[in-house]
Structure 1
Amino acid sequence: MTAVRTDERQDGVVLVTIDRPHRRNALDPQTVAELHTVFADIAGRPEIRAVVITGAGSAFSAGADLKSTPEDFDRTEATPTAALLGAATSELARTMAAQELMASLFERIHRLRQPVIAAVNGAAVGGGFALTLACDIRIACPEATFGAVFIRHGVSACDMGTSYHLPRLVGASRAAELMLTGRVFDAEEALRIGLTVDTVPATNLIDTALAKAAEIAAHSPLAVWMTKETLWQNVDAPSLRHALDLENRTQVMCTATGDLHASFAAFRDHSTSRWKPL
């Protein structure tokens, strides 16, 4: 039995669904390893242009599966960290391996060439919250909830990239309040503070996210890749000069494909431009 389902669409969009509704899509090591495999495959397939990730049932992801045990990890090992997790004998080694397995997944998603949209269909707390933060865009239904809740359990709320992503998305002061209180907040607040870009009824959530992904996929593959990469790199730019230098080099590189001239020609001819593949 697989914990992750994929549905490839004709427009170059892939829908990835965490399929553990009986556990509110909690992320046990095997599920994380399967997600590693799925996103590694997506990264190597240039025909895939954008990704939507969601959860089955009424939750996006309740975070780390606290009820999982090393014995649950009994299928194909997908990463070196997963192999370590299966072989580790001490509790400290297993905890570190599980931490690295999940954190490296979120880094993989954030650094993926293709943009990733989180369709948040319910609770996204703990590791599930960190997963949404690693995505490029978040769209939620009214029933969605969010929270960096680790601090409630005696450990730091700085976990799985949360302390990196959240201040950059909502500001340092807002992030501090959310992380220090560990409170769970709703979709209305998420939209108001800029964490999500839209709130739509649950029945329309997946279609809305897929439509947004298709809108992105309609653009030049290289332009989308370079926009995502340059955007997130320049979030950390030490100065405007550094950001402009990276933008200038990226723009010049993109013009070398001929897509810009083809687009201008299509505009003059009132036709649709055909982009070159990667």
Structure 2
Amino acid sequence: MTTPPALRPRLSLRTLRVHRQDSVLFIELSTPEPGNVVTDAMLDDLWAVLAHQDPDVRVLVLSGAGDDFCVGGDRTEIAEHLVVDPAGGGVRVSGTKARRVSEALTSNPAVTVARVHGKVIGAGFALALACDLRVGAEDASFRLPELAFGLPMAWGGLLPRLLNEVGPARARELVLTGRAFDAQEALSLSILHKAVPAEELDAAVTAWAKPITRRPPAALRVTKTMLNAYTAATRLADPSALDAELMAAVVAENGRGGAD
């Protein structure tokens, strides 16, 4: 069987590895030396892939190269943005990109699967949580350290998704303490749907992908749209559209000496 093209059109990607097997599209974060940190370049690459995704794709698998899935956003890049524009304009642009990518994962017509291992931190946590299904290695660790860095939980719509998935009481504790937690706790919180030995991650993804790819495409798209719609309906408000503005405002204030 001839492997279909991963993307239409063919793209030049700097931070990702992308390949396709039949109706399953694999996207790997591929800057492992710094832990697959989320940069503007990575967000641009992710958006390019998601915007040019073949409509025949039924399952999209997001993973990370190297020892970690993703250790979070690039704080050096944030500092560079502030040097260029102390008012936070560059941070605002980055935040808008983050929300666009996260929404593209959540609203993707394909079923999105996060395959995580190692460290899953901050922005990496947000990307994983934006996916429909999440499987993690048993030795994976999770953390939301934004508050310790003087940042609000305003990246890619992470906070409303976290509240919806784990509930307000537990979300509050994870966000305010910033403590690390393991895969078993992530499983108990519904942050993961499965926790397996690292060597079984691919098999777990395949176990989900096989039946999904056999579903009638129209029914699959409509069902996913319904799931997203009913989930959104349980939230009285979702102010995550303000994430970019809130992040820019706080980072700019910190840059002026506002942080303790």
Letter in 1 for 2:145: V
Q: Match of 2:156?
A: 160
The residue correspondences of 1:178-197 to structure 2 (distance < 5 A) are 178-197=174-193
- How far did residue 89 of structure 1 move? 4.5
Query: 1 or 2 for the larger relative contact order (CA 8 Å, sep ≥6)?
Result: 2
Could you tell me how far apart the structure 2 residues matched to 1:24 and 1:70 are? 19
One-letter amino acid of the counterpart of residue 218, structure 1: R
The aligned runs of 1:30-179 (5 Å cut-off) are: 30-42=41-53, 45-68=54-77, 89-91=84-86, 92-179=88-175
Structure-2 residue corresponding to 1:220: 216
* Structure 1 residues 48 and 238: CA distance shift in structure 2, 3 A: closer
Distance 2:190 2:157 in 1: 18
In structure 2, what is the equivalent of residue 15 of structure 1?
26
How much has 1:49 moved relative to structure 2? 0.7
| Contact 2:98-2:155 at 8 Å conserved across structures | no
TM-fit CA distance, 1:160: 2.2
Indicate the residue corresponding to 2:6 in structure 1.
Answer: none
Q: Where do 5+ consecutive residues of structure 1 fail to align?
A: 72-84, 240-278
Whole-angstrom distance in 2 between the partners of 1:234 and 1:111:
13
Structure 1 residues 102 and 237, CA gap change in structure 2 (3 angstroms): closer
Where has structure 1 moved over 6 Å in runs of 4 or more? none
Superimposed CA distance per residue, residues 4-45 of structure 1 (whole angstroms, 9 cap, x where no aligned partner): 0112002x1111100011010001111110011011111xx2
Match of 2:15 in 1: 3
> What are the superposed Cα offsets for residues 102-131 of structure 1, whole Å, 9 maximum, x if unpaired?
121111111111110000112111100111
In 1, Cα distance between the equivalents of 2:47 and 2:233? 28
* AA aligned opposite 2:152: S
| Shift in Å, 1:70 | 9.6
User: What's the RMSD between the two structures over aligned residues?
Assistant: 2.1
Distance 1:16 1:237, change over 3 A: same
Match in the other structure for 1:249: none
Offset of 1:50 from its aligned partner? 0.7
Task: Give the distance between the partners of 2:154 and 2:45, measured in 1 at CA.
Answer: 24
Query: Using a 3 Å threshold, how does the CA distance of structure 1 residues 164 and 69 change in structure 2: closer, same or farther?
Result: closer
Q: CA deviation at 1:195?
A: 1.5
> 2: CA distance between counterparts of 1:14 and 1:214?
13
CA distance 1:164–1:64, shift in 2 (3 Å)? same
Letter in 1 for 2:74: D
Equivalent residue, structure 1, for 2:7: none
1:181 Cα deviation (Å)? 1.1
Separation in 2 of the partners of 1:56 and 1:238?
A: 35
Q: Which amino acid aligns with 1:124?
A: V
Residue 238 of structure 1 deviates from its aligned partner by 6.0
Question: Does the 8 A contact of 1:13 with 1:210 survive in 2?
Answer: no
Aligned CA distance change for structure 1 residues 238 and 63 (closer, same or farther; 3 Å): closer
Matched-pair contact (CA < 8 Å) for 1:52–1:213? no
Contact 1:126 1:148 in 2 (8 A): yes
Q: TM-score, normalised by structure 1?
A: 0.75
Q: Is the 8 A contact 1:50 1:214 kept in 2?
A: no
For residue 33 of structure 2, give the secondary structure of its aligned residue in structure 1: helix
For residues 158 and 66 of structure 1, the distance between their equivalents in structure 2, rounded to whole angstroms, comes to: 14
- TM-score, normalised to structure 2, is 0.80
The 2-side partners of 1:126 and 1:115 are apart by 23
Report deviation, 1:213: 1.9
